[in-house]
Structure 1
Amino acid sequence: MANVTSLGEFFKSLKKGVERVEQTSCKDIEVKVRRMAQSANPKRWTDTSVQSLCSLENYLDRLPAEVLLKIFAFLDASTLFNISFVNKRFHDLANNNALWYVLYACEIEKRRWRPRVCMASEAVSTTGVHKPVGYWKKLLFKEMAGYQNNMWKSELRHMNPHTGMPALTEQVLRRLHIQWEITLTGKNGHESVYEQTRTFFEDSSVTVCWNHGKWPQINRVHSLQLHGIMRPAVLAPGDRPTWRSLIHKTLLNAGHWSFLGADRHVKLLQFDEGIVVGFWRGNWKIAFIMVTLHFHKLIERSLLGSRFCPYVLTQDSAFDPDCDQHGYTLHVVLHNPVQRILRCRFSPLFMSRATSLGDSWQLSAIDFTDVSEHIPVGKISLPWQTEGLHEAAERCCMMTLTVLDEGQRPFWCVSSPVKMHSKKYRLVDLDYEGEQLLLFYMDADGKVKMTFVFVEEFQQYFLVQLNVIFPAAKVSKHVGGEC
């Protein structure tokens, strides 16, 4: 299997050849050939010879199926899966049971025996391959996705009573050797893959950092893809991830980012799905990337999607239609890739109409009029390190927020970078003085408003107000009735 990479590159060139051929129809080629024939010697050119010359252009169609199957036998599971989308003929050949049988044997049973590549032609005659079409392909995908050990599903049933998330999420992620990688696609179509540098686990989220690599300028990148991957427990030279599950894809252009913060060396841009991109001042070259992932369905999202399609989340419905009487739980954590800044839990909370905010419902966790509810908060910053440098952007961090319904089921889960906005006017009327700042987050499912006061005397922030607001449509959908 030493030539897998070179053969893969060779096959990519063949694919490009197919694309070039498809851009010119055979009819156009035939017209050109007939004109050449008439200008030279019309009597020597017949319809049969013209068609034969035209067929030379689509040379892949002229290759025998046996030759293509031999080439396909050198591809890994991911590449073979991609090849099936080229055309109908490739789809039929790439779903050959013999090919997937050998892949299954190589990847899953290699500890007991390692079959030769030539078995692809021999496997058809064996009794073990006489299965329904797609049997070995589906079985391999299930094994790669962790189905061979259903223990992780049972382990996720044990919930952390404080966060409402599976208590053993971190342990399962480590045991299954799940990591995350990003793929940057340039505007010229070139793809660069980066492996994670380090992770920071909180009790309801994980922050993944990419600090090393040959980074492009951010204005030359078209899109970013985040994949969950499974790696072998013991890495050998040339080993590749056994599976890639797309978690998110975002476009890195001006319409999909907002300014998060800056320091002496870098500027930080915030993208959707908890993505932070830091780039060097002056040259727009990427310095690092951070992503915060909420624990809600994280293992499923990292395992059960495909390379091109993410895992589809399912949402349970509540049962009690009296939505204003539900006892909700709010768990919120402010953190960065180094430490936890704030963690608090509020339960029970009750929905109330927010008429001043339109057709919305609100959870009020901290009332600014009650000083006893105000919470002291540590230094809010977002530290980073790369290429021997380390610094921190002030007044921005990561927020992981979980809202549970009265049945302790996830109602809204968010992991995102956030920043504090300084306001010239006072947001709330307090008995003590200090600069007031607003931390605000919003997406299609809800809003978070946190008001802080910086007290000079103590050189510390105090959280004096916390409200979570939901659209009425989201609440109605969750409770299964009209509110």
Structure 2
Amino acid sequence: MATGRGRVLRQRWLGLQALRWPLHSGREAWVSGGAAPGCSGAFGFRKGPGIRFTTSCTTVSQYARCGQQSNFVSLDGMPSEILLKIFSYLDAVSLLCTGCVSRRFYHLASDNFIWIRIYSTAFSPKRSNWKINTVEETAVSVSFLSVEDKEAGYWKKEYIAKQITSVKATLAQILKPVSPYTGLPVKTREALRISGLVWAIILREKSGKEYIMQHVDLSLNDTSVTVVWYGKTWPRLAALSTLDLCGMTPVFMDRYKPPAKNGPRWHSLIAKYNLSHLTESTMIGCDRLVRIFCLNPGLLVGLWKKDEEVAFVMANLHFHHLVERSTLGSDALPYELPPHSPFLDDNPEYGLSGYQLHVDMHGGGVFYLCGTFRNLFSKKEYIEDGYVKVIVINFNNNREHLPLIGKVGLVWRTNAFDGFIERCPVVDVTLLDENRKPFWCFSSPVCMRPVTCPSDGPTFLGHTYHVDYKDEVGKVHAELVWIEETEEYFIVSLVLYLSVAKINYWFGTKY
């Protein structure tokens, strides 16, 4: 008969064998989340953004009940020394996931000795020969000696901070070249691809409960990206209070490898929206199935007509500082632009001159207009009610009038239905100042509203429509005419109204 000490040693040996058995048998390792043979039922743990960890057994005793012996100790009951040894073989992503299992695992997976090894491996200086420099050797030794002097989790935080700094530097380098035509980074699409960026909306109920949904579809335009969410399991609209739009990027990025789908992700708040503003005043169009509402900046919400519940959400994001806004903010605060240094205006008494406007009009992957207007100007006497008027297309000069391609509207899709809402396109505006710097950029759905009273000027054989947009920087007013004979729209007037306050801030002047 085995002595008491022998029984204890045997139980510990059997416990370790239970951990090793799946690896030896060629099946999925139980310690990494695989199910034991014959075990059914699974559950998940909540972790950081974008992480889901699912397992089928939590203790060795549960594992035993699935067909093995029943006298094994629990994994959580194992000595900390053994768990630390197991954790030391994990990479950074696996450690962060493991730390979300329980409070004890969190503290063990934050061990400074484990993380300083990961930190030193990732960020140690590259050596061209095998001999270690005395200074480097001393620095490494001092680092390891100071591990115990640091608070728990110090080197984990240092590693994550260094990784985020590295990501920022990589993206800044990619975004450095700028297009002379749009004033925007040339490689925005490449930066979006390399960063592993996805967009998510966080729907928050009045009770505080949250729902996080990653985007289902997106389309890249010349100067913006259109991101779409739809599905069958939307929460009830009456219970919702706000919607947050966020960018989510992997904390650890390797530009030569695709990002892990379930790795830890960083949340960057882009904009907050109040869903109580979905009223008749913000409705911009409808068809037989849905009504659509526009919330600035650039968000479009579609509601089913039948039950007034959410059908889809569409975000229109301009490329200007898009990567920074989607990656460099926090989950509570949006990214703040660096301090602006005013550009010196050589002749402020004359007014504005040398401006360039790029306009795109599209709707759900269909393009209706792509135009560039150069050498725009405005004199100081054009100031009206705190705005400087800039005429882009003159109503009285029919040589400047522009046709639109196709039947203008918005194409929408869900997993059950799709449709087309007439006269509700998305407009992208990129206005550059005389130094070719982006002065005003936005992407937003607009509504072409019919005009009952014709304007003074030329008479057109067709229905006239107005398009209006306004934000804190300025206003856009356009007039369009539908020509029945050719079945196309013509832009017969396009006027920008720039805020005097914005101009004074931009140039450091006093208009």
Report the TM-score, using the length of structure 1 for normalisation: 0.73
Contact kept? 1:95, 1:137, Cα under 8 Å: no
CA distance in 2, matches of 1:95, 1:294: 42
Unaligned runs of 5+ residues in structure 2 are 1-30, 34-42, 49-79, 85-92, 123-141
- Structure 1 position 144, deviation (Å): 3.8
- Structure 1 position 6, deviation (Å): 3.2
- Structure 1 position 178, deviation (Å): 0.8
Inter-CA distance 141–419: structure 2 relative to 1 (3 Å threshold):
farther
- Structure 1 position 109, deviation (Å): 7.2
* 1:384 equivalent in alignment to 2:423: no
* 1:140 equivalent in alignment to 2:156: no
* 1:460 equivalent in alignment to 2:488: yes
- Corresponding residue for 1:320? 345
- Corresponding residue for 2:218? 199
* 1:340 equivalent in alignment to 2:367: yes
Contact kept? 1:173, 1:299, Cα under 8 Å: yes
State the one-letter code of the partner of 1:169.
T
- Corresponding residue for 1:6? 45
Q: What is the aligned-residue RMSD (CA, Å)? A: 3.6
* 1:248 equivalent in alignment to 2:271: yes
SS at structure 1 position matched to 2:160: helix
State the one-letter code of the partner of 1:263.
D
Contact kept? 1:8, 1:75, Cα under 8 Å: no
CA distance in 1, matches of 2:114, 2:309: 44
Which of 329, 333, 352 is equivalent to 1:305?
329
SS at structure 2 position matched to 1:166: coil
Inter-CA distance 127–297: structure 2 relative to 1 (3 Å threshold):
farther
Inter-CA distance 188–166: structure 2 relative to 1 (3 Å threshold):
same
CA distance in 2, matches of 1:358, 1:285: 40
Which of 260, 272, 293 is equivalent to 2:284?
260
Contact kept? 2:196, 2:258, Cα under 8 Å: no
Number of matched pairs: 396
Which of 216, 240, 248 is equivalent to 1:221?
240
SS at structure 1 position matched to 2:452: coil
Please say which of residues 416-425 and 350-359 is displaced more in the overlay: 350-359
Contact kept? 1:334, 1:342, Cα under 8 Å: yes
- Structure 1 position 8, deviation (Å): 5.6
- Corresponding residue for 1:62? none
Inter-CA distance 130–204: structure 2 relative to 1 (3 Å threshold):
farther
1:362-401 to 2 correspondences below 5 Å: 362-378=389-405, 379-401=407-429
- Structure 1 position 102, deviation (Å): 5.5
Larger radius of gyration: 2
Which of 342, 351, 364 is equivalent to 2:378?
351
Contact kept? 2:115, 2:159, Cα under 8 Å: no
Contact kept? 2:96, 2:109, Cα under 8 Å: no
Query: Identity of counterpart residues, as a percentage?
Result: 29
- Structure 1 position 97, deviation (Å): 11
- Structure 1 position 136, deviation (Å): 4.6
* 1:282 equivalent in alignment to 2:306: yes
State the one-letter code of the partner of 1:329.
Q
* 1:426 equivalent in alignment to 2:426: no
CA distance in 2, matches of 1:276, 1:286: 11
Unaligned runs of 5+ residues in structure 1 are 10-65, 84-93, 111-123
CA distance in 2, matches of 1:170, 1:319: 32
SS at structure 1 position matched to 2:282: strand
State the one-letter code of the partner of 1:301.
R
CA distance in 1, matches of 2:423, 2:146: 62
- Structure 1 position 433, deviation (Å): 2.1
State the one-letter code of the partner of 2:311.
A
Q: Deviation per CA, 1:213-261: give whole Å up to 9, x if none.
A: 5112323211111111124755768x14421111111111137871111
State the one-letter code of the partner of 1:415.
S
Inter-CA distance 96–390: structure 2 relative to 1 (3 Å threshold):
same
Contact kept? 2:228, 2:313, Cα under 8 Å: yes
**Going by fraction, where is helix more abundant, 1 or 2?**
1
Inter-CA distance 454–203: structure 2 relative to 1 (3 Å threshold):
same
Inter-CA distance 148–208: structure 2 relative to 1 (3 Å threshold):
closer
Report the TM-score, using the length of structure 2 for normalisation: 0.69
CA distance in 1, matches of 2:120, 2:364: 36
- Corresponding residue for 2:169? 150
Q: Deviation per CA, 1:278-331: give whole Å up to 9, x if none.
A: 011121211111001011111111111111111102344221153414311111
Contact kept? 1:446, 1:471, Cα under 8 Å: yes
Inter-CA distance 109–291: structure 2 relative to 1 (3 Å threshold):
farther
- Structure 1 position 103, deviation (Å): 6.8
CA distance in 1, matches of 2:440, 2:117: 42
CA distance in 2, matches of 1:159, 1:474: 23
